Structure 1
């Protein structure tokens, strides 16, 4: 589903402050695989996620997702790609605090072309999957950290994406809520979603549903391991 070939990402190109965040990245992810990008802060894993999401563009190299070359997409087409294919779960949730859970989850569908009945149906389904349906009318600012994360998961799932990208998803959660989050990821894997998680959380080590662990350091992939759940 994802093919990354010789990708570089350089910031401040052509200046004395030029910095290579990614160097010669090659990575293949099959449809339905769960992959963990492992590494300390600054290793390049979040930058790589951003490129796969179409939120940024590589300086060179190619990224193909679901047979679509996304590395050179204009911004408008990149937005359409995300709306169709990708659900992103951010470290800091990026929710609208003054709105309700339901309104936050519904937001990505506003310009989808679906009628209101379909939008509500998709929103309820997504909140149920993320175990946050019981809080649908609560304002986000009144939620706990774990509840905010589940709201963010529901929002990422509402348009039924094929690809789920998670950037340090447990960084702001305690152990109990981190384990609940991992349970939801396991369920999504069982549904056939392709999942990539960027994390340095040891809770992701040795998980039964992880197919591949990719270790990153200083913008390089230094090692790839088959996970416990690998079929290879």
Structure 2
């Protein structure tokens, strides 16, 4: 995707949604960190259902430690991998209290040292809580980046590096959210809804679905021929 097309790509997404934000519910930076940690391999909707009562009781790492691992499990048992996630969240709370005065550090290296926190989670927290120009590449952003030609790469880190290099101002802070929401609701994995996509003419995807209810062109090809990659 050319430089001018990239600017237009984000201009249109921004016009449609001027103030994008995460769909995770939280009241402070610590709750955001916990919510993002719990969201791994889970939906935001499922995490929000589990954390509403939890966050009414727990607003700080110290309160999480007081709740304890078993108490936390009782709140998040509907979330996938809740046993390991509960263990990580409690260990995370211990480190935050011991080493950071109960505050969430605004530093990627410090964040990724916390149990259960990888680069993607750290990038989400830095972006949503501290306004950093970070790009947390989840499955949606990875798909949109490769499918549209905006930022191609074989790994999430490769796509992230492409986005860091290509996304222009004034879209860098909001780009993470626009791409996730676009991938979640329009540029879907199985059947992208190209017929209602605001950037369809800028996209390099060859198997576009230009009519509602149609199937991707790649799916119609006879066996033996290579399908277009998403």
TM-score band (shorter)?
under 0.3
Structure exhibiting the larger radius of gyration computed from Cα positions? 2
Higher strand content, 1 or 2: 1
Greater fraction helix: 2
Q: TM-score normalized by structure 2?
A: 0.27
The structure, 1 or 2, with the larger RCO (C-alpha pairs under 8 Å, 6+ apart) is: 1
